[in-house]
Amino acid sequence: MADHIPFVTGDDVCNLVNKVYPDSPFVRVPLDRAERLLPRLHGTTKVWLDPCVDGMHDLIARRGEPDRSTSWFDLMSSFANFGKIGTPAYHAKPVAAEVYAFVKAAMDKCAAHKPAWITVPQLPLVGNSDRNKINRALAAATGKWKSSRSFSGRLILPLVFTHQNQVNGKTARNPKVQQAERCYHEAQADGFWVVESSLRDDSGSSTLGTKRLPGVIALHEELNASIPSKIRIAGPYWGLNLVLWARGLVDYPAIGIGTGYQFLLAGGAAKPAATRLMLLPIRRRIRAVQLGQWLDAAIKRLGPSHPAHAEFSNMRKHYAESSDSATARRQVATNYKQWFELIAKVPEAGRSMALFQDLSAAYALGKSLPVLPDEGTARRPEAVAEPLMLNCL
């Protein structure tokens, strides 16, 4: 069985999961959209339901957002003590009974859908210790709820980081790992999920390969040493999730479906994204705008015998029709699945080397191609493969 866990966010994603990822063992669905999305999913895929508490990260500032998700706010405000839990002043002295009332309401709502997994209610992590008490209280309340209910599924502790400074250095990571271990046990959790929500690992940033990716990798190594769990999840990212999985540091890479390769906190409306297509030979997405001209130039540089020549020629032939946003999402989802399966067919012990060789080939090819238009810091075709390649082993 495949290991990937799609993050389902809308109707179009449901359709792509059904068509492209029917073999996923689990799909993650946000609670505020569960009633609409769950009936659209089919097959044997089990559901991981998330109560969307991470959306309370900056609740006071977000109350007035014009693009705030009404469905999320309506759901969360129906839970007892929602306003208190979302108030920073309350975090220093949470009242156990009030926190339990909130957790019970959220977890009962999740359990009513009979999911296989439920996310433990937790607020995203911040740079200091201001949320330690409230998150421990939420974890303890979850453990109490589990003991009082007959829920037979698994509980997943979320560790949602919000800034690279929380992850890059060991000094910053140490208290986060200690807090995670404590919350894991108090919640009676069965697994944990980690994501650095500010990380865009396909951005081409110069610090990815030397600082940001190594920091997340070290974080997972330290968590694994402190929390013995057989359910370890990372992402969604573009490629770091695959690196962590290939290295055996996580059991499941969380993935976007055509879009959504960076985690967004619950409750906000996603900004319209540029239409992108995946260039499978160099393991990256690029904007569809002006891609036709770039493909023409790339094809000229490659000899007809080069394996990527046929791939790029086929993309050029179907460029106009593929540039439609829905078609582009399907193209990315399908190609990403093909990339994953190339590595998944390798025995576990050899996956990190297989991914390294795969990305090395993408890097070498990218170095020989023209600079990409309209890609900012990722204009070099090899800019996405390079930092991932450097952190595979």
Quickly tell me which residue has 């078609």 as its tokens.
Answer: 327
pLDDT digits (tens, 9 = 90+) for 87-143: 999 999 999 999 999 999 999 999 999 999 999 999 999 999 999 999 999 999 999
Structure tokens at 48: 């991981």
Instruction: Give dist(CA 90, CA 83) in Å, integer.
Output: 10
pLDDT digits (tens, 9 = 90+) for 369-379: 999 988 999 99
Instruction: Give dist(CA 117, CA 154) in Å, integer.
Output: 5
Query: How much of the chain exceeds pLDDT 70, in percent?
Result: 96
Structure tokens at 57: 């990260």
pLDDT at 32: 95
| Strand stretches in the chain, DSSP E | 5-6, 26-30, 46-50, 117-119, 154-161, 191-196, 232-234, 252-255, 276-279, 284-287
Instruction: Give dist(CA 267, CA 248) in Å, integer.
Output: 32
Among 317, 326, 387, CA closest to 359 = 387
Cα–Cα distances in angstroms (integers) from residue 224 to residues 127, 181, 232, 365, 393, in the given order: 21, 10, 9, 35, 17
Residues sharing a CB contact under 8 Å with residue 84, sequence separation 6 or more, in sequence order: 90, 98, 102
CA 48 to chain centroid, in Å, comes to 14
Quickly tell me which residue has 């929390």 as its tokens.
Answer: 227
Give the H/E segment covering residue 129.
none
User: Considering the entire predicted model, what is its pTM?
Assistant: 0.96
CB atoms within 10 A of CB 376: 11
pLDDT at 382: 98
Domains within the chain, CATH numbers bracketed:
5-255 (3.20.20.105), 276-390 (no CATH)
pLDDT at 2: 81
> What is the CB-side half-sphere exposure of residue 142 using CA atoms within 13 A?
31
pLDDT band at 179 (very low <50, low <70, confident <90, very high): very high
65 has a pLDDT exceeding 60: no
Among 246, 236, 158, 232, CA closest to 199 = 236
Structure tokens at 193: 């999920």
pLDDT at 273: 80
151 has a pLDDT exceeding 80: yes
95 φ/ψ angles, rounded to the nearest 5 degrees: -95, 120
Mean pLDDT comparison of 50-64, 70-84, 328-342, highest-scoring range: 328-342
Inter-axis angle of helices 11-20 and 325-344, nearest 10: 40
pLDDT at 150: 84
